[in-house]
Structure 1
Amino acid sequence: MTNPLILSDGQQAIGRRWNGGQPVEQARILGLARDALDFISATGQWYPFDDYRASRGHHGAPAITEERSTELHERLRKTEAFFERLLDDPTAADEQPGIQVILDALRFISSTRQHEAFTDFLEHLEANAQPYVMFAFDNREEAEAWLQKHPSPPFFAEVLIGNKPHDVVYERETNFRRLPRNRRLHRYLAWLQEFDPPVAQASFATLEEAEAWLMSQTHPARRAWVMIGGEFYLAAYYPNINHRALFPLSMAERNPEERKSS
């Protein structure tokens, strides 16, 4: 089974270079490298990335495989060049495994032509939006049928089942497949309550009215607060799967001290 800690090696290499006084350009480079690793993780591409590393990842494939120039292509080029220099730096010899993982991640995204998906992911992060989701299902039966039929499920990606968050657990060697619940959305809502205290952009008497409003939006924001029957809800939009959902703020996970006192 692929080792998820491979990506953490790259994150550690980034963390060792991150500092408050760094130049803006270096922060952008390190940030893009961090986000590239997170993209592979959030989209459940552990196995494809591992296969890429085993077959081509260490052969110096160029990160940019398309001729057209875009801002993302230029950022990828600068980020790759930065870490290529580090790879040749004798003072960074102990960090070479992590640096190589970063280079492989950048090249993997480009060689598989995932620039559009990566751009969407970056915009999702920029908006401080809800945890990234790869699929949404109406019910458990639908999700289980998808999981069992999928030739290679996205390992540890997040999916919604009836708008409740679940992880995709998949082990290729044994064909083990499960969809356990997770609480990332609950923790996110608690964090968002502090980061962006609820101010309703719209108010509705019933959930049905709010759902109709959300579905009617041509270009909804990735996240917005609304009031439904006197309770705050997060109106969430996932452009990558064109899914819209309403999450009650009451889902927010309280801290351990609050749970003890209740």
Structure 2
Amino acid sequence: MRIFETLADASQFARSRQHSATSAGQEEEGELWRYLRETTDFSHQLGQAYRFEDYLQGVPSTSPPYVSAALDSRQEATSRRAMALALKALAVTHGPEQARHALVLVHLVNFLADTGQLDDFADFFTHRLDYAPLAMASFATREEAEAWLKELEEPPSPARILIGDRYYLAWYSREDGSQDIARDFTIEPYIEELTARGIPPNSPSFQSRKEAESWLASHPASPFAFLSLAGEYYFAVHHKRLRRHTLHPVALSLSEWAAEKEAAKRQPSQRRTVRQSQ
């Protein structure tokens, strides 16, 4: 699991630098540190931790560090300026641990450039608040999702997927070969927060899901919208990359989220009870 710790440490390093730059009024530098920080999140959300780990094995160990030639052809300068900032941090950072974090950020930008993902990342970075939580694939049934997971040569590590109208987390451990698909309560907090603010009284109303989906096709939620379906409120979520919407029944979602939070509260006490009985 070391690669996950590596990405987490690099993200925290970039976050700290972003905070320092923003606090000093250096907004442009702060945005570049956010860019670098979100390369870790993008790679993690798309289940590419092990792919990045493999990429690192082929990166030449040179001084100064390798910089992808793909960056030279970029029309926009953000990726190049972010790379320059990471290289500068590497050069002036004191201590081997901090230097390792900066070098990981250098390699992440190279990784996205060499694997042709800079445009996808730029879209993620620029429009993140306009998109629903990222899901990398969509399936009608759990059986379809499990078959997909088993067929992958390198399964995600981990990544969110959609099964029907629900988020799940598909994961794989290279260390022991285990894999699974588990429910992921990622959209429910949004439903809870927005419902607490009040469901708009003029939310569109439909008698069937087919009618609602037809309307959403020409009025995509951006990324969320409330609607009424056969007299029940639903939370519509637009998944732009997957070109579909999910519809989440508000009452059921809130009930399931409340039960999940209650279960999470009980877990620490349950672990204490087990330890005390041993």
Regarding TM over 0.5, the answer is yes
2:143 corresponds to: 141
Deviation of 1:39 (Å): 0.2
Matches within 5 A, 1:63-212: 63=68, 65=70, 67-71=72-76, 74-91=77-94, 93-127=96-130, 129-193=131-195, 198-199=199-200, 201-212=203-214
Distance 1:69 1:219 in 2: 31
Comparing 14-23 and 57-66, the one that deviates more: 57-66
Question: What fraction of aligned residue pairs are identical, expressed as a percent?
Answer: 26
| Aligned partner of 1:24 among 12, 24, 27 | 27
Deviation of 1:63 (Å): 4.2
Distance 1:135 1:241 in 2: 7
> CA 1:70/1:203 → structure 2, altered by over 3 Å: closer, same or farther?
farther
> CA 1:91/1:144 → structure 2, altered by over 3 Å: closer, same or farther?
closer
Alpha-carbon contact 2:15-2:34 (below 8 Å) kept: no
2:66 corresponds to: 61
Task: For 1:135, give the aligned amino acid.
Answer: A
Alpha-carbon contact 2:234-2:250 (below 8 Å) kept: yes
2:45 is equivalent to residue 7 of structure 1: no
Task: For 2:70, give the aligned amino acid.
Answer: T
Structure 1 runs not aligned, ≥5 long: none
SS in 1 for 2:182: coil
Distance 1:92 1:2 in 2: 20
Structure 1 length normalisation: TM-score? 0.84
> CA 1:58/1:206 → structure 2, altered by over 3 Å: closer, same or farther?
farther
Deviation of 1:213 (Å): 2.0
2:234 corresponds to: 233
> CA 1:34/1:58 → structure 2, altered by over 3 Å: closer, same or farther?
farther
Comparing 117-126 and 57-66, the one that deviates more: 57-66
SS in 2 for 1:36: helix
Distance 1:57 1:210 in 2: 53
Which has the larger helix fraction?
2
Distance 1:248 1:169 in 2: 26
Task: For 2:229, give the aligned amino acid.
Answer: I
> CA 1:92/1:249 → structure 2, altered by over 3 Å: closer, same or farther?
farther
Alpha-carbon contact 2:33-2:82 (below 8 Å) kept: yes
Deviation of 1:143 (Å): 1.0
Task: For 1:112, give the aligned amino acid.
Answer: T
Task: For 2:161, give the aligned amino acid.
Answer: V
Task: For 1:99, give the aligned amino acid.
Answer: A
Deviation of 1:186 (Å): 1.7
Distance 2:166 2:60 in 1: 36
Distance 1:187 1:170 in 2: 25
Distance 1:11 1:98 in 2: 8
RMSD of aligned residue pairs (Cα, Å) = 2.7
Task: For 2:75, give the aligned amino acid.
Answer: T
Deviation of 1:64 (Å): 5.3
Alpha-carbon contact 2:168-2:181 (below 8 Å) kept: yes
Task: For 1:212, give the aligned amino acid.
Answer: S
> CA 1:85/1:123 → structure 2, altered by over 3 Å: closer, same or farther?
closer
Aligned length: 254
Distance 1:23 1:197 in 2: 37
Task: For 2:43, give the aligned amino acid.
Answer: I
Deviation of 1:90 (Å): 4.5
2:218 corresponds to: 217
Distance 1:172 1:10 in 2: 21
Alpha-carbon contact 1:136-1:243 (below 8 Å) kept: no
Distance 2:34 2:90 in 1: 18
Higher relative contact order (CA 8 A, sep 6+): 1
